[in-house]
A and B are shown apart, each in its own frame.
Chain A
Amino acid sequence: MSLQTHQPDTATPPIATPSAAAGSRPPLPKDPQRHRKRALWGTAAVVIVILHLLALEGTGFEPVLLVEGWQGMARFIADSFPPSLDWEGVIAPGLEATLVTLWIGLLGTTLSVPTALLLAVLAARTTTPHRLAYQVSRSILSFFRAVPDIVFALIFVTAVGLGPFAGVLALICHNTGVMGKLWAESLEETDQGPQQALSTTGASRLQQIAHSSLPLVTPQFVGLLLYRFDVNVRSSLVLGLVGAGGIGLLINQAIKSFQFDAMLSHIIIVLVLIIVVDQASAFIRKRLSL
């Protein structure tokens, strides 16, 4: 046998080619789902691209404008530098208003706890006493969630006048919707075993919820509560712009009277407030999970 022919040695196994392997096992089955899935993904991609083109058109999204107009922005920022350090006229009222903003966020969160808790228990499939209660409470939560807090604020201003009280009422309404939904979801995700175990002891439904469902979700509930407090403090800034008081109102007034340096001071105060709230809630959440 000549060296050039390069016959395979009988001692070494032949390299498994696909066709060789196919002999010993059933052939690759035809998956009819593959074509369908491909068509589905392709269609989804086309639809998403079309939606984005329409959205870019509809919002007048033109980066050229931003590039051409950067001087305007630079002038605005330059005008507001340096931030005003006037204690009497700017900083002291700013701090006071910041405190009001914080109070609006706090009450808007805590005062919505009872309603959110009740609706969450009724709106979680695992704890609801009845299908009807489930449907009704889901609808109530959806409504409060769908109406933006700023709309609630405008409505309450007509009843209680301009000021922080209207802001608190607005946040209570919107936050009930959002927190109730989030809580209901964490109730549904929690382990049903302990609740089932209590049901076999003869405990009532309310007792099962009080002694198993709620203690099991407490960390998630508190985490979500702190997260909502964080969001609500920021929302109360925006509510200030429509007359609900607080630092948002001062920022709006500063802009309207061209006191850009005062505006910058207020924005810096707001930044500090948000960082403090964020860090504090992160700290508490971390301690809680231990």
Chain B
Amino acid sequence: MARDRYSPPALGVSGLTKSYHGRPVLKGVDFQVECGELVAFLGANGSGKSTTLKCVAGLAEPDAGTIRLQGTELSGLSGKTLAAARSQAAMVFQKIHLVPRRTALDNVCAGALARTSGPASLSPLFFSRALREEALDCLDRVGLADRALEKVGRLSGGQQQRVAVARALCQRAGVLLADEPVSALDPNAAEHIMALLAELAHTHQLAVAAVLHQPALAQRHADRAIGLLHGRIVFDGPAAGLGADIQDQLYSPERTSAA
């Protein structure tokens, strides 16, 4: 994607390593995601795709390597400055992780908690008018403005995932991380969510990194694909170039010994 030669990438990762209980999961991962592009992360179970996103989101602590969000390096930061830097990356989960008993609007407002204070930060009863308006804008961008006051638990899986995307938008993050966002959805809903993520990348200039399990979805919606095998990047190129040979390499049983 075209960008100013001197502006840093929205997300830059280099030399990322991580092991769980002595078993290496990431063995030096380097990549960048620019504003306005949707990058799909592919690979067999245990290849390290999700761990990469978790390290960026702060849900896992990397052993080594640097992570830059909008030019700010995360290592060395702590407390509030780290939280502020981290809020530059929003995450969407396979299991959606909304509060089902609350309305879609209240769930979306919760994305803005990092910049609210006082009573409003502790109960939805005190969310400001401005925040509620902004949340409704976010719901509108995912096509759910008419369901704002519906309890999330009553929405379909695909609609719930769209609310989760709206919450990420309300966070005003430049980077959107999606960890298997469509694995729990039916094919139609999956297409819808992927089209939405691509649209957000292209028209709202978000940098979107999405872990996917279906290469076909990546080919249809992503600009670029990154393939991981045993904790290393073995493919980084246009999603259209994701040929059968690369897919064989990523998913063949001899190469992917992991569970």
A contact residues vs B (CB 8 Å cutoff): 191, 193-194, 196-204, 206-207, 210-212, 215-216, 218-219
Contacts and interface: CB of A to CB of B under 8 A. Distances in A.
Given A206-B122, A207-B121, A201 B99 contact: no
A200 B59 contact: yes
B122 A200 contact: no
B74 interface: no
Contacts of B121: 204, 207, 210
Nearest to A219: B101
A215 B99 contact: yes
Contacts of A200: 57-59, 86, 89-91
A211 B97 contact: no
B161 to A, nearest CB: 12
Interface in B72-113: 83-84, 86-87, 89-91, 93, 95-99, 101-102, 110-113
Contacts of B98: 194, 197
A216 B101 contact: yes
Contact of B114 (A194, A202, A215): A202
Contact of B97 (A193, A203, A207): A193
A201 B83 CA distance: 8
Given A200-B57, A202-B84, A202-B87, A210 B122 contact: yes
B203 interface: no
Contact of A212 (B99, B123, B164): B99
Interface residues of B, number: 30
13 contacts: A200-B57, A200-B59, A200-B86, A201-B112, A202-B86, A203-B113, A203-B114, A204-B113, A212-B99, A215-B101, A215-B102, A216-B99, A216-B101
Given A210-B121, A210-B123, 14 more contacts: A194-B97, A194-B99, A197-B93, A198-B113, A200-B59, A200-B91, A202-B87, A202-B171, A204-B114, A204-B121, A206-B122, A210-B122, A212-B99, A216-B101
B90 A201 contact: yes
Interface hub of B99, B112, B171 (most chain A Cβ within 10 A): B99
Contacts of A194: 97-99
B177 to A, nearest CB: 8
A196 B114 contact: no
Contact of B59 (A191, A196, A212, A219): A196
A201 B59 contact: no
Contacts of B96: 193
B97 A199 contact: no
Nearest to B113: A203
Given A197-B91, A202-B84, A207 B99 contact: no
A203 B86 CA distance: 10
Interface of A is mostly: helix
A201 B171 contact: yes
Contacts of B171: 201-202
Interface string B179-195: 00000000000000000
Contacts of B122: 206-207, 210-211
A203 B111 CA distance: 8
A202 B102 contact: no
Contacts of B58: 199-200
A234 B89 CA distance: 53
B58 to A, nearest CB: 6
B246 to A, nearest CB: 30
A247 B90 CA distance: 59
B99 A202 contact: no
Contacts of A218: 101
| Closest CB pairs A-B (n = 3) | A202-B87, A202-B114, A203-B113
A201 B167 CA distance: 9
Contacts of A204: 83, 113-114, 121
A211 B59 contact: no
Contacts of B89: 200
Nearest to A212: B99
A284 B99 CA distance: 22
B95 A202 contact: no
A123 B96 CA distance: 27
A206 B112 CA distance: 14
Given A193-B93, A210-B123, A201 B101 contact: no
Contacts of A202: 83-84, 86-87, 113-114, 171
Contacts of B112: 201
B93 A201 contact: no
